[in-house]
Amino acid sequence: MSGHNKWANIKHRKSAQDAKRSKMFTKIIRELMVAAREGGTDPNTNNSLKSAIERAKSVNMPKDTMEKAIKKGAGELEGQSFVEVIYEGYAPGGVAMLIRALTDNKNRTAQELRHLLSKYGGNMAESGSVAWMFERKGVVSVPVSEISEMEEFELMVIEAGAEDIKTDDEMVRIITEPESVSSARSILEENGFTVTNELTYIPKNSISVEGNDAERMLKLLSIIEDCDDVQEVFSNFEMDDAELEAIMERIG
């Protein structure tokens, strides 16, 4: 697994342990609103909304909170209007970052990110100077425990549009083109698998970091991810697993 993906998993586990529910709710509510505005209120035809609903359920968001967010996004209830913005930057060690934000004030968000990047040893990048290093992909995930015959499973997902398959101790992740996520998910669900999916940015190449640069870089990524307007941070670093775990324990 790439360093970035393992870092994201550690962050997810720690957030759950620390019960940072209020901040997580705020981020997911924005996802629900934007997904409903852009793709409609039916999760069966709106993959982004379906993914946001899954995230909401995973943190035990009340049903009425989800429904209100969806209605606000669709214009059925009054509420703030958020737009998606992708900011580009560099972290210590030359690590490239794409920062996906949902904001009601692009200037405010840009200023906040520029300040944090500068404070922690990174910098904002010109539009397009980082984005070319990443590819927009769909990821459909299935628990390893549900797969009895890996070879048969791989043949099935290849027919469903898989470009690549990544496996770790917990999940098998099927990489697809963004437009193939829905069909791949449907085929897996029809075959009885528990499925989650997302759209993400995958780096074309990775950069190895270690030591002081690694610690500064992870601290910066963690701080940026905790910003209210920031939904996701994508990066292209690789790091030794043991060092990654040790640094995350230190920086919290």
**Could you read off the pLDDT of 34-79 as tens digits, one per residue?**
999 999 999 888 888 988 998 888 888 999 999 999 999 988 888 7
Nearest to 54 by CA among 239, 210, 197: 197
What pLDDT, on a 0 to 100 scale, did the predictor assign at position 78? 85
Judged against a pLDDT cut of 80, whether residue 175 lies above it is answered with yes
pLDDT band at 19 (very low <50, low <70, confident <90, very high): very low
Render pLDDT for 112-154 as a digit per residue (tens, 0 to 9). 999 999 999 999 999 999 999 999 999 999 999 999 998 999 9
pTM greater than 0.85: no
Spatial separation of the C-alpha atoms in residues 242 and 219, rounded to whole Å: 16
Spatial separation of the C-alpha atoms in residues 121 and 224, rounded to whole Å: 13
Judged against a pLDDT cut of 50, whether residue 1 lies above it is answered with no
Alpha helices for the chain (secondary structure H) = 3-18, 21-39, 47-58, 63-74, 106-119, 150-159, 181-190, 211-225, 241-251
- Domains plus CATH for the chain? 19-74 (1.10.10.200), 83-132+206-251 (3.30.70.980), 133-203 (3.30.70.980)
**One-letter amino acid for residue 164 of the chain:** D
What pLDDT, on a 0 to 100 scale, did the predictor assign at position 242? 82
The DSSP H or E segment spanning 198 is strand 196-203
Spatial separation of the C-alpha atoms in residues 26 and 141, rounded to whole Å: 24
Judged against a pLDDT cut of 90, whether residue 18 lies above it is answered with no
Helix (H/G/I), strand (E/B), else coil: 195: coil
